[in-house]
Amino acid sequence: MNSKINNLRVSSFGEIASPAEVMKQAKITKRAAATVLKAREDIQNILDGKDSRKIIIVGPCSIHDSKAALEYAEKLNALRKKVEKKFVIVMRAYFEKPRTTVGWKGFIYDPYLDDSYSLKEGVVLARKLLIEINDMGLPTGTEVLGPIVIQYYSDLICWSAIGARTAESQTHRELASGLSMPVGFKNGTEGNVDVAVNAILSAEAKHSFLGMDDEGKVSVVGTTGNPYGHIILRGGNAGPNYSADDVARAANFCKKAGVKPRIIIDCSHANSEKDYRNQAKVWDKVMAQIVAGSHNIMGLMLESNLSEGNQKIGGGWGEMKYGVSITDSCISWADTKKIIMEA
């Protein structure tokens, strides 16, 4: 191939194991598989109106430390057992981070926080962590960012999200149409819900697109469509959108478009006005709507970690605080437990 006209800005190509090879290296356990299947069924029943419980997606903004993530999972799993008659608890296991410009791209890409971009090791480490968490009986959810990366651990995910920046992407809508779990689409960064509604309609349809199979071969992927798309209200540049009026408007928009009005409220991001301490206020107001009889709200999302706030990666592990987010600020585990138990 003529090097003068092709790959001019590519510095290297590195081989990586196929999804099938990584799945063999880190095999899913029977207990973990049972956790995923049960959680998917529970979430689908809630979205179908057959189960009156609410979905709670809670956990770190992004995982960067396996040890801290497992400690958090153990605490959350104990809480899950106490509230399972009211809530289906799903732990946030976000391994990819969308960046507005540049920055740490997530555990999958840079698991050692040293800009080494050890993607080969990242996919294995992420998969092993998901197996351990699901093996406890605690389901996991994630954001789907890279259209190929998700194939390395999709069998361990019971719920997924498409972010505000990617909900308009045809690639992600096509991908969602073939995912094995329910998918939430966030409203656009401006706060508009039409982006999410259009994404749901697209993901419900059959698609054929260029992708990769589990053996790592470039393939034409044919999908059957995903009937479990739903909206995530996360606020926007115009402000929060979790009030009863906002929920009603979103539900009416869904109905007019022929989409089931199934809504999850993100208590963070623009809904908290980018102040993690406001998450509890959003939670309380949304719970009040549920108690008042709102049938369109299917669940809530919280960004939570062992300790509150966030920190910069800085000089490496020696200078970092254990159990503190390195991306968005989170509420502490103590506060998380308190508001969920009160609810």
Pairwise CA distance, residues 273 & 262, whole Å: 23
DSSP letter at 148 equals: T
Q: What is the pLDDT of residues 249-260, one digit of tens each?
A: 999 999 999 999
CB 167 within 8 A of CB 195: yes
Is the model more confident about 114 or about 38? 38
Give 251-297 pLDDT, tens digit per residue.
999 999 999 999 999 999 999 999 999 999 999 999 999 999 999 99
pLDDT of residue 313: 84
Give yes or no for a contact between 201 and 256, defined as CB atoms under 8 angstroms apart.
Answer: no
Inter-axis angle of helices 66-83 and 119-135, to 10 degrees?
30
Task: Name all domains of the chain by residue range, CATH numbers in brackets.
Answer: 19-342 (3.20.20.70)
| pTM reported for the whole predicted model | 0.95
Write out pLDDT tens, residues 25-44: 999 999 999 999 999 999 99
**Mean of pLDDT over the chain:** 95
What pLDDT is recorded for position 101? 58
Report yes or no: 160 and 184 within 8 Å, Cβ to Cβ: yes
DSSP class per residue in 118-157 = -HHHHHHHHHHHHHHHHHTT--EEEE--STTGGGGTGGG-
Is residue 80 within 8 Å of 39, Cβ to Cβ?
A: no
Percent of the chain with pLDDT over 70: 97
Contact (Cβ atoms closer than 8 angstroms) between residue 331 and residue 276? yes
